[in-house]
Structure formats: structure tokens, C-alpha cells
Chains A and B, each alone.
Chain A
Amino acid sequence: MENRGVVIQARNMVKKFGHFTANDNLNFDVYKGEIFGFLGANGAGKTTAIRILCGLSAPTSGKITVAGYDVHRQTESIKKNIGYMSQKFTLYDNLTVWENIRFYAGIYGMKLSAIKVKTDRLMKNLDLEHARDKRIASLPLGWKQKLAFSVAIFHDPKIVFLDEPTGGVDPITRRQFWDMIYETAHSGITVFVTTHYMDEAEYCDRVSIMVDGRIDALDTPAKLKKNYKAKTMNDVFLKLARGENVCPDSYRELNS
């Protein structure tokens, strides 16, 4: 996997707010085309880390590159090469599906003709051709979710950040959504996803778990389960969250 090329590289990433340390010396690599799960309890520092990687917030210290660009100086280039989907599936309710796509794609500087062609293909793939001119407000949540994701990767970013993308939707829709994520990763777009659902963590290629601003574990789900002698990712997560730092060998290797 290591030779696939690194798209996100974080070395000694620190973010402090006054005396509070939100991100305490994070080190990790994310490889091209992988699904990278970014787990942690609320307040563990996930959001802060994502904001830094998206170029919204400057780290206090550390050497971090996203898509090959430095987060201190090249945030503009980073922004052009990433996609972002928030847990609110944010599309404009008052605009139609097509208007939303045209707006967001326009922001990324895509040409109208290219947007049109791609939208047609997308509508066909999603089976949403009939809804093209319907307003977002009238669509069911599952469709909104798929659309929000499609919009986030519409401009072919190198990395797409998904912030709890499956909140509030039923298990079947979630499963379908993960199919979309797999497809996206296959096409070469790196997927950086945060989630609270531990079964979803099992779908990721590799998973990092944050506790109190630190990354306490980082490996494939299978190895994590083995190392922590746990049956499911849920158990791994609980053990870590309770502070049972049983056997973080894999992580030590990466740090050393």
C-alpha cells in the first residue's frame, strides 16, 4: 500500500487554542485511493484536524501537506483539489438539483458545457433524471445525501472529506452510500471519512482513532481487532476510549 503514493502527510501536527491542545502531535499518512476512517469521540479533536487539512484553519505547528500542498502557505491550491461534504448534506433547499450542481461546480471553475454533460451522466447513474428540475427541499433525505456526495466529488478532487456523512439515514441507504464511496475510491479519489458508526469503520481500508487530541491507534480494521484482542471495531473503540492502552504497537512503529 505504501508505494501507492501519499496524498496527505501529517508530521507533528499541533493545534492549540490558548492552553487547550486540540491536536496533540498527530502523525499520519493517507495514501492515494484509500478509504481512511477518522474516528474519535465527540471533542477528541477530529473536527479541528479536518479544518486544518481543508485549509480553513492554520495549525500551530507541524509539517502537513495535502494533495502535495503545504497547509501553511498553499491553502488556495489545497481548496481547489479537495471536496467536502458535511453531515448536514448541505445543498440549497430553494434551488433545483440542476441549479445546485451548476452553482457548486461553477465555484470550482468548471465550464458550463462540461457541467451539463457530467450532470446528465450523473443523473442517469443515480436514476434521478426525473428529479433534475425538482427543488432540493422536495427530495427524500437519502437522495439528498447521494446528491451532496456527488456534488462534493463533481470537480474530480484528489481527496474528498466526508464529515459524518451517514447521519440520520436508514441502514439500507447507508449501505448504498458506502457502495458509492467504494466506487469513488476505486476511481482514484482518496476518501477521508469520519463516522460514529463502528460497523462503517469496518468498511474502511485503514482507521485512525483519536482520544483526547492524540491518535491512539492507526491500522487496518483487521489488525486493530487482533492487536486489541477485540471481536468488533466497537470493542476496539471502547477499549481505547476508556484508556486501556493495551497494545498500540502498530502506531508506535509509525511514530518512531
Chain B
Amino acid sequence: MLILFGMPIAQILIFGYVVTNEIRDAKIAILDFSRDDITREITNKLTSSGYFQVYEVLKSNHDIEPALQRGIVKEVVVFEHDFADNIKRNGSAKVQLIADASDANHANLIVNYTRAIISDYAKDLAGIQNMPLQIVPKVRMLYNEELKGAFMFVPGTMALILMLVSAMMTSISIAREKELGTMEILLVSPLKPVQIILGKVTPYIGIAFINAVVIVLLGIFVFKMPIMGSNTLLMLECLLYITMALSLGILISTMSNSQQVAMFISMLALLLPTMLLSGFIFPIDNMPLVLQWLSYIIPPKYFIIILKNVMLKGTGIFFVWKETLILLSMTIFFIALSVRKFKTRLE
């Protein structure tokens, strides 16, 4: 019943809300060298549009990079010195838009919205002052200058594939043993449950890790994706994510007695959320609040953030320790839960 009626409703809602290309309250930072009436008015226009929210006000050029690296601010708007004077004197002034293009589509949207608002304002101003004037936006896409889609898809695909290989395969292979009855024999044997689980899981750690390396290599050599950060950190984070996915797989297998059930749960509980709610395809910032909350419990979300940071922004553990910690605690939580489930099943 739940599946028959609940599924369509959940999917329509999720798809309907997730699959939008609007932006909403995108967080931006302002670096205003001029601080005059016009720059203040433009800033107000941006915030009152409902699309943007000024998250912080920067003081110098040196603040731009760190602001974007932290990943909250998606765009920095820089007004040049003597902005208003330039307009009055030359009829033209420059504004620079620096966007975080580790999510290429999102960056494009944000920049276009900003441009539209600014040019609207320029037209109004021209009408009032009755003279031709121009505000020239200069755009820079940081971390992905050419807006390559691959830069966005490689981390997402990695999160998806590692999740599938690790969680789905483990859960299916353990469920298979149960279905065939061999699990019973193993449990009666002197093997400890931990040994059985480790035995089932070890091959998949290897397979998933090889997959991770292959995807990274493909990204580097085929899509010319740079790895800005440390390779060791990248691999360690992959290993952590794989372990997390494996423990999730074990958890699923304790809940299912047949391969079909394991497959179905994996599909429903892992594949769809990983595609829709992890920020892989659709930016989380633009989702309704409820779905944003939901995305907090989706592990791949954190992995994608980590990957983008390490691969595109070149940040170290210092910037992703929070996400790493979350993944780590999720792993421990899943392992603890599945060990408990595994034991009670024996009772």
C-alpha cells in the first residue's frame, strides 16, 4: 500500500521541487570598493529580488578566495573604485562577478540572474538621468573557468557508482547467501558473525576502490579535470565513503531476506536520493527547506562536497573536516546498527 500510493506522491513532490532551475536565496558576498549610493542601491536590488542574500561583506581582494572556498558563498560581487563617479563622468562603470563554478549550471544561473538585475537597474538609471549609461559586468567562473559539465558530473558519478557497487552489491550478496541457505551453514560453523561479514565485504572494498581510481583517472585524462588538492586525502576520503556505503549495504541485507528485496531497497533508498537530493544533478540551495533538511541525512551529499573541494578548489582537510566527520559518524552509526540487527536476527 505504502509503495503503491506513497511512491508516486513522494516522487512527484521530490521531482517537482528538486527539478527546478530557479535560484532562491543564493548566498553572495559583496566587495564594495566604492561605497556610494549607486552601489548600495544595486546591492539592495539584488537582495530585494528574493534570489540573493548577502551573506558577508568583504574588505579586500584577499577575502574573495577564502569566502568561496568555504562553499557557502556562491558568488562575489565586486564594485570598482569610484563606481558612481565613473558613471556620472564616463557613463560606464565596471562590476565583477566571481562565481563558484564547481557546480557549473548553478554558477551560470546565478551569474545570469545577477546580470539581469544589474542591467535592469542600469536602464532605470539611464531613464532618470536621461543619458546613455552602462554598467559592465565582468564575469569570472572560479574553479571551472570553461564551465565544463564534466567537472560537476565526475564527483557526482563517483558518489553514485561507489554507492551502488558497495552498498547494493554487498546487500545483494549477503541476501543471496540467506536465500540459498548457505548463511545458515556459515552461522552454525565456528565462524564468528564479524568474520562472515568481513569476508563478504572485503572483495567489495577492493572493487569499489578500483572503481574510484578508474573514475578519477578518466576524469583527469579524458575530461581534463584537474586534481587541485592532495591525492592522498582524496583516496582516504574515497575509502571512508566506501566503508560507509558498505556498512549501509550490510544494514540493508539484515533487513531483507531475498535478493529482490535487497535490490529494491537499495534502489529506492540509495539510488534515487543519491541522484536527486545529494546535489549531484540539482543544486541543494534551490530546493524547498524540507528537502534541504532531508538532504542533510543523505551521505553522498557530503562526499560530493568533499570531492568538489578537494578536486576543484584544492582545499585541504581543514576545509572539509566537518563533512569528513559527518561521514565518519554515519559510518560508525550504520556499523553499530547493522551489528545489532545482525545479532537480533540470530535470536
Residues of A within 8 A of B (CB): 54-58, 76, 79-80, 82, 84, 86-88, 90-93, 104, 107-109, 161
Contact = CB atoms under 8 A, between A and B. Distances in A.
A99 to B, nearest CB: 13
Interface stretch (B128-136, B163-171, B177-185, B324-332): B177-185
30 contacts: A54-B188, A56-B187, A56-B188, A56-B346, A57-B347, A58-B347, A76-B190, A79-B189, A79-B190, A82-B188, A84-B184, A84-B185, A86-B181, A86-B184, A87-B181, A88-B181, A90-B180, A90-B182, A90-B185, A92-B180, A92-B182, A93-B180, A104-B185, A104-B189, A107-B186, A107-B189, A107-B190, A107-B191, A108-B190, A161-B188
B180 A88 contact: yes
Nearest to A15: B347
Interface of B: 180-182, 184-191, 346-347
Contacts of A104: 185, 189
Contacts of A87: 181
A77 to B, nearest CB: 9
Majority-rule SS of B interface residues: helix
Contacts of B191: 107
Nearest to A109: B190
A49 B185 CA distance: 16
A87 to B, nearest CB: 8
Contacts of B188: 54-56, 79, 82, 84, 161
A20 B340 CA distance: 23
B128 to A, nearest CB: 80
Contacts of A80: 190
A74 to B, nearest CB: 12
Contacts of A93: 180
Contacts of A84: 184-185, 188
A181 to B, nearest CB: 19
A191 B180 CA distance: 24
Contacts of A86: 181, 184-185
Given A88-B181, A109-B190, 15 more contacts: A54-B188, A55-B188, A56-B187, A56-B188, A57-B346, A58-B347, A76-B190, A84-B184, A84-B185, A90-B182, A90-B185, A104-B185, A107-B189, A107-B191, A161-B188
Contacts of B185: 84, 86, 90, 104
Q: Which 4 A-B pairs have the closest CB atoms?
A: A88-B181, A90-B181, A84-B188, A79-B190
A92 B176 CA distance: 11
Nearest to A93: B180
B343 to A, nearest CB: 11
Contact of B184 (A55, A58, A90): A90
Contacts of B181: 86-88, 90
A90 B180 CA distance: 7
Given A56-B346, A57-B346, A108 B189 contact: yes
Contacts of A107: 186, 189-191
A92 B189 CA distance: 15
A84 B181 CA distance: 12
Contacts of B189: 79, 104, 107-108
Nearest to A84: B188
A177 B281 CA distance: 60
Nearest to A148: B185
A39 B181 CA distance: 22
A108 B185 CA distance: 12
Q: Which of B185, B186, B191 has the most CB of A within 10 A?
A: B185
Nearest to B189: A107
Contacts of B180: 88, 90, 92-93
Nearest to B347: A57
A171 to B, nearest CB: 24
A226 to B, nearest CB: 36
Nearest to B195: A107
A109 B195 CA distance: 14
B190 to A, nearest CB: 5
